[in-house]
Amino acid sequence: MRTLVKSIVLVATVFFGACSSQQSLQEYYVDSKENPNFISLDIPASILKMEEVDLTTGQKEAVESLKKFNLLAFKKTETNAADYKLEKAKVKQILKDDEFVELMKINSQYGKGVVKYSGDEDAIDEVIIYGDSKEKGFALVRVLGDDMNPAHIVQLMQAIQKSDYKGEGLGEIGKFLKG
């Protein structure tokens, strides 16, 4: 009887613990796609058109490790300021999870942000770039790839700077991120 009670308590603990767990970043993306305050876009890495750019070996490895980008942006307006605060708090709570390791903080004229990653240090599964501006809203970018590493992020940024990529194919998000 005691074993049965212990088993029931264990199953209930696992069940209720799983039910009360925090929303994942992937779930947040999916839930937000239908919200009219958000602009959402999934982009293959090939949009960067890096084949035509003269890249170093490290930059080529960085580009080849990429699969796709998931972009999600909340465009703040006068009428959705309360929603902006709520959604911003949700994202920050998700990014506090121990699953995400901080790579660097961003503080620029456009706003504040952070770059984090998940996965092993030498085999990163995804890089998360989050930035917000009190005037414009916030953007969340998931960079998905295979066995990326922190050095790849720097190499990738250098490679993109070498290219002629000007944000083609980003539609509304490109306009939002630019100005």
Q: Determine, yes or no, domain membership for 149.
A: yes
State residue 158's pLDDT score. 65
Given a cut of 90, whether residue 169 has pLDDT beyond it is no
pTM score above 0.85? no
Instruction: Please tell me the predicted confidence (pLDDT) of residue 171.
Output: 52
Confidence (pLDDT) at 82: 95
Q: Which residues pair with 104 in a beta bridge?
A: 115
Residues of the domain holding 122: 23-178
Structure tokens belonging to residue 109: 């004229």
Residue carrying structure tokens 């960079």? 143
Residue 8 belongs to a domain: no
Mean of the pLDDT values across residues 153-157?
A: 69
Is 15 among the domain residues?
no
Does residue 18 lie in a domain region?
no
Share of residues in the chain with pLDDT > 90 (%): 32
Q: pLDDT digit string (tens) for 70-124?
A: 999 999 999 999 999 999 999 999 999 989 999 888 888 778 899 898 888 777 8
HEC string of 10-27 equals: HHHHHHHHHHCCCCCHHH
In a domain, 115, yes or no: yes
Pairing of the two strands 137-148 and 66-75: antiparallel
Model pLDDT, residue 21: 60
How many Cβ atoms are within 10 Å of 149's Cβ, its own excluded?
Answer: 19
Q: Pick the residue with more confidence: 53 or 173?
A: 53
Q: What percent of the chain has pLDDT over 70?
A: 71
- Domain membership of residue 5 (yes or no) is no
Positive or negative CA dihedral for 35, 142, 19, 96?
negative
| Number of independent structural domains in the chain | 1
Strands 111-120 and 66-75 come out as: unpaired
Q: Give domain status of residue 9, yes or no.
A: no
Strand partners, 126: 118, 144
Q: Is residue 163 part of a domain?
A: yes
Amino acid at 61: E
